[in-house]
A and B are shown apart, each in its own frame.
Chain A
Amino acid sequence: MSGTTAAAGGHHGEPGGFLRKYVFSADHKMIARQYMFISLFWAAVGGYFAYIIRWQLAHPEADIPLFGRPIGPDEYNAFVTMHGTIMVFFVAMPLLLASFGNFLIPLMIGARDMAFPRLNMLSVWVLGAASALLLLSFFVEGGPAAGGWTGYPPLSARTAYVGADKGMDLWLLALALEFASFLMGGINFLVTPLNMRTRGMGLLRMPLFVWMVMIASLLFLLSVGPLVAGAVMLLLDRNLGTSFFLASGGGDPLLWQHLFWFFGHPEVYVILLPGLGAMMEVMPTFSRKTIFGYRPIIVAVLVAGALSFVVWAHHQYISGLDPRLATPFSVTTILISVPFALIVFALLATLWGGSIRLATPMWFAVGGLAVFIFGGLTGIFNGSAAVDIYIHDTYFVVAHFHSTFFSALFLAGFAAIYYWYPKMFGRMMNEALGQIHFWGTFLFFLAVFVPMHLVGVGGMMRRIANPGQYEFLAPLSGLNRMITMSAVLLLLSQFFFAFNFFWSMFRGRRAPDNPWEGTTLEWTTPSPPPHGNWPGEVPQVHHPPYGYGLPGAGEDWVPQHRPAPSGAGAGR
Chain B
Amino acid sequence: MSTAAHASAGAAESTPFPSAKLGIWWFLASEIMVFGGLIVSYLLFRMAGPGWSAELHHNSTLLGTVNTLILLTSSFTMVEVHRAHGRGEEAKFRLHLALTILLGLVFLAIKGAEYTAHIREGLVPAKSMFWAFYFGMTGLHGLHVLGGIVANACLYAVAARPGGVARYGHRAEMNGLYWHFVDVVWIFLFPLLYLG
**Chain A interface (Cβ within 8 Å of chain B)?**
1-2, 4-5, 8-11, 109-112, 115-116, 119, 183, 186-188, 190-191, 194-199, 201, 221-230, 232-233, 236, 240-244, 249-252, 255, 259, 262, 532, 534, 537-538
For the complex, what is the distance from the CA of A119 to the CA of B167, rounded to whole Å? 20
List the 10 closest pairs (A to B, CB-CB), nearest first. Answer: A225-B33, A226-B37, A241-B126, A538-B10, A229-B37, A242-B132, A225-B34, A221-B30, A5-B5, A115-B19
User: B22 touching A5 by the CB < 8 A rule?
Assistant: no
Q: How far is the CB of B84 from chain A (nearest CB, A)?
A: 19
Residues of B within 8 A of A223 (CB): 33
User: A195 touching B15 by the CB < 8 A rule?
Assistant: yes
For the complex, what is the distance from the CA of A54 to the CA of B93, rounded to whole Å? 64
Kindly supply a per-residue 1/0 record for chain B positions 165-176, scoring 1 wherever the CB is within 8 Å of any chain A CB and 0 otherwise.
001100000000
User: A112 touching B37 by the CB < 8 A rule?
Assistant: no
A203 nearest in chain B by CB position: B14
User: B9 touching A2 by the CB < 8 A rule?
Assistant: no
User: A221 touching B2 by the CB < 8 A rule?
Assistant: no
For the complex, what is the distance from the CA of A228 to the CA of B41, rounded to whole Å? 13
Query: CB < 8 Å: which of B1, B10, B26, B136 contacts A190?
Result: B26
Known: A191-B23, A196-B14, A197-B11; 11 extra A-B contacts, CB below 8 A, are A2-B2, A2-B168, A115-B19, A187-B27, A230-B37, A243-B129, A244-B41, A250-B49, A250-B129, A262-B37, A538-B9
Residues of A within 8 A of B126 (CB): 240-243, 249
**Chain B interface (Cβ within 8 Å of chain A)?**
1-3, 5-6, 9-15, 17, 19-20, 22-23, 26-27, 29-38, 40-41, 44-45, 49, 124-126, 128-129, 132, 135-136, 140, 167-168
User: A221 touching B125 by the CB < 8 A rule?
Assistant: no
Residue pairs across A and B with Cβ atoms less than 8 A apart, 18 shown, are A4-B2, A8-B6, A8-B9, A110-B10, A111-B6, A112-B6, A115-B22, A190-B22, A195-B19, A222-B29, A225-B30, A225-B34, A226-B33, A241-B125, A241-B126, A242-B135, A242-B136, A243-B126
User: A221 touching B29 by the CB < 8 A rule?
Assistant: yes
Residues of A within 8 A of B14 (CB): 194-197, 201
Residues of B within 8 A of A250 (CB): 45, 49, 128-129
For the complex, what is the distance from the CA of A197 to the CA of B108, rounded to whole Å? 43
Q: How far is the CB of B56 from chain A (nearest CB, A)?
A: 15
Q: How far is the CB of B154 from chain A (nearest CB, A)?
A: 12
A109 nearest in chain B by CB position: B11
Q: How far is the CB of B50 from chain A (nearest CB, A)?
A: 11
A183 nearest in chain B by CB position: B30
User: B129 touching A191 by the CB < 8 A rule?
Assistant: no
Known A194-B15, A228-B37; contact A9-B125, beta-carbon cutoff 8 A? no
Residues of A within 8 A of B31 (CB): 225
For the complex, what is the distance from the CA of A547 to the CA of B15, rounded to whole Å? 26
